[in-house]
Structure 1
């Protein structure tokens, strides 16, 4: 069964599309590659809406087989392997035609100054909300830091350390292993508003220098 990853992007929701088939990672040909196909990748990666479908090895040329071409995904396909295509391993593209995608992140850190520390907020149903600190730990925080391209987790914050948010509390009892591509890929309780905003989760990502600046400011 095929698996999926994005390579050489600025975060876990952008990059060259690569698929694992028969135990070997390969790429996707940009023949017929469009926003509908790219949107299926975004959904499978646990990212938000597609922003751009990239072609002509925009994120660099891959290696190995070009596994699939002439994709014809529908708006309801949630995985790339569910889409119609010319078949696995039957294309004739070179890596100069490797397909890529840019998806919209569905997570952000809210603070006054730095995009790599703050209150964790997620986008669901078109509305930004927060994450409850029940069970919030370094493995959960590490996924957010990686997803946002902010390096490693330095501190895990709870009890609305960065101030209370508004709207729904979209996630609680988040349980990440730390290697998930996005926060929404982790297991969690999706029932909103079990927690109040006084328990909003936060994180500090980046380098030791970033942490020192935050502590001096506070």
Structure 2
């Protein structure tokens, strides 16, 4: 019996051991032995990187990249026994398109959790994402040595790694030095890892660009032309997002980016991949100014199913926050828990509010300190701002007595001098409507009676300071100097003309009895 117990324990340990799995196949035996909440990485070129998948209810599923940052990435990597945590968090399906089954969205960790599913999130399979928004990580695979003998035993491996890295660095230096005379043909016959160098270094600014395969001239797969012998090629869409699409549409004179596509919808399955890991800021005049991770004979994750494409548009909305309204409306309020029941249902309070002993009747009279303010958002673009979710999936909020058309419309964050969040950033669901309009523009959108929602061009949507959840819970935050950051459309779910005015960041002084905000400037979320 003891031997049997040991075998069962060993098999369970093996089942939850950390390994990188590149595919989605799993045997019946594997499913039976996999524990609830097990994590794995898929699609990466090495064991320490990939999209994150979690095992729940007998199935593997992806995690949406909304709210995904180093806090969540560190918990994933440490769960996978990378003791030094994460080097970076990845978004936009950087390691290939995720699964259709998405288990988690809006995961928000404070860094103290022992497992990812211990963090607050929207609920299993509750999300507003697609396969293009898979969250991933790159873990720090450096070893921590507990003794000198351990380090000696690992010297041979370390020396090999050092030699490989030195060789790669030398190749990159040679490539940069000889880029003007290097043969593109030679490069295209092999894969060159560039460590995120500018594409113009390789192409000498002679790269040709077009889109093809669309139903009209404003959409299609992105194609590149470098050499007659190799013809046109496509881009692997790992990490392809709205900022890269913005640059393509601008370069081709097609207006602005409405969607970034990661699929073979526009064809191109029989074409060669030339680029992988393209990263743009969105301001670049051409794709050559963006960085690229891999160039040449590129192997794309899940080959022929991850082709970069774009859908361009001539007119788009442009949201702008009213910084003056924010500065003039901010104040503190101490409110008892008995008056915060709706707010608790919508997760508008910090984590400590949910750890109260609810068996003690006095919890109703405990107080939370709230930083309250008005958020006024104007649409200064050329098209109406409309929710991307169809009307039939809008969420009814009984406390507010109306539907919320966007799961996350705004983020409220307080940052310290190092840029780290010190109060839990609140993710606000919103009902969007025209509260006031300029000139002769008539309000078009109303929340009441299941009306159409949005913000018309020339109109503003105002969430007053006295509305539930229009606050940040700062109960656990010590007094001091901070920065307050308010963002709208923070996850870039809806395309806009410009994202650089979607947030304001302000100096914020909190001295226990009062709050003051000043020096607000516009920035990107």
TM norm structure 2? 0.22
Q: Distance between the aligned counterparts of 2:106 and 2:149, measured in 1?
A: 41
Residue ranges of structure 1 left out of the alignment (5+ in a row) = 107-121, 131-166, 171-196, 205-218
Counterpart position of 2:40: 5
Counterpart position of 1:41: 76
| Secondary structure of the structure 1 residue equivalent to 2:55 | strand
Q: Distance between the aligned counterparts of 1:169 and 1:57, measured in 2?
A: 37
Q: 1:29 aligns with which of 58, 64, 77?
A: 64
What does residue range 5-154 of structure 1 map to in structure 2 within 5 Å?
5-47=40-82, 48-106=84-142, 122-123=143-144, 128=145
Q: Distance between the aligned counterparts of 1:168 and 1:73, measured in 2?
A: 37
Shift of 1:18: 0.4
Residue ranges of structure 2 left out of the alignment (5+ in a row) = 1-35, 158-525
Distance 1:103 1:201, change over 3 A: closer
Task: Provide the alpha-carbon RMSD of the alignment.
Answer: 2.2
Q: Distance between the aligned counterparts of 2:60 and 2:150, measured in 1?
A: 38
- Structure 1 ranges of 4+ moved more than 3 A: 200-204
Counterpart position of 1:189: none
| Secondary structure of the structure 2 residue equivalent to 1:41 | helix
Contact 1:25 1:64 in 2 (8 A): no
Q: Distance between the aligned counterparts of 1:203 and 1:168, measured in 2?
A: 13
Contact 2:100 2:130 in 1 (8 A): no
Contact 2:103 2:126 in 1 (8 A): yes
Counterpart position of 1:191: none
| Secondary structure of the structure 1 residue equivalent to 2:72 | helix
| Secondary structure of the structure 2 residue equivalent to 1:61 | coil
Structure with larger RCO (C-alpha < 8 A, sep 6+)? 1
Shift of 1:129: 5.1
Q: Deviations over 1:7-32 (max 9, x none)?
A: 01122221000011111111000111
| Alignment size in residue pairs | 121
